[in-house]
Structure 1
Amino acid sequence: MAWTSILAIYALFWVMTAFVMLPFGVKTHDEAGLEKIPGQADSAPANFRPGRHAMRATFVAALLTGLYVLNYQYGWITAEDIDFFPAPPSAEQSKP
């Protein structure tokens, strides 16, 4: 696998991980016991830390990319392993 492919896969995993992890570890002002600013949405986060979020996404994306590349090299899980619907028998095989 080319290094550019690995980099592209890592970028995809990073973006996916960042979006999936957004709701975890964030508290609203009501949950944190803080006073809200007038006009603030009730669901606005009180303790969002983008640097920490990016570091977590970087770590998880690196782990997932590593697993993906290892699976690509060693073939632990192939397309045949996840084919839950086998091909139907052909028309010639079903004739008596």
Structure 2
Amino acid sequence: MGITSAIVLYAVIWWMTLLCVVPVRLRTQQDMGKVTPGTQSGAPEVHHLKGKVIITTGIATVLFAIAAGIILSGWISIADLDWFGRMDTPYPT
């Protein structure tokens, strides 16, 4: 795995983790009982975004370390993911 693919893998894991963490402890305007006229009642009132970014970074770092370890160790390779037998036939020249 090259440096570019490692950065892309970390970014994908980080954003997926953030999208899973954002709804946790989210307080909407409707939950707080203070809906501002002209806004949706489901709009966030208290979002705790700074803490969620820190939690996301920690979780994403652990998940990235696991994924990078599996990829770099060779425990799972592209040949293991060849479900349709495409690696068995030579490529046309």
Q: Post-superposition shift, 1:82? A: 2.5
Alignment of 1:33-44 (within 5 A): 33-44=32-43
1:18-29 alignment, distance < 5 Å: 18-29=18-29
**RMSD between aligned alpha carbons?**
2.7
Q: Superposition pairs for residues 1-96 of structure 1, below 5 Å?
A: 6-30=6-30, 32-87=31-86
In 1: Cα distance, 2:85 partner to 2:6 partner? 31
Q: Which runs of 5+ in 1 are unaligned?
A: 91-96
**Distance (whole Å) between structure 1 residues aligned to residue 19 and residue 72 of structure 2:** 28
Of 49-58 and 38-47, deviating more is: 38-47
> Of Structure 1 and Structure 2, which has the larger fraction of its residues in strand?
2
TM-score under structure 1 normalisation? 0.66
CA deviation after TM superposition for structure 1 residue 60, in Å: 1.5
Find runs of 4+ consecutive structure 1 residues off by over 6 angstroms: none
Larger radius of gyration: 1
The 3 A distance-change label for structure 1 pair 85 and 60 is same
TM-score (normalizing by structure 2): 0.68
Q: Which amino acid is the alignment partner of residue 29 of structure 2?
A: H
Structure 1's 64 and 42: CA in aligned 2 closer, same or farther, altered over 3 A?
same
**Seq. identity, %:** 26
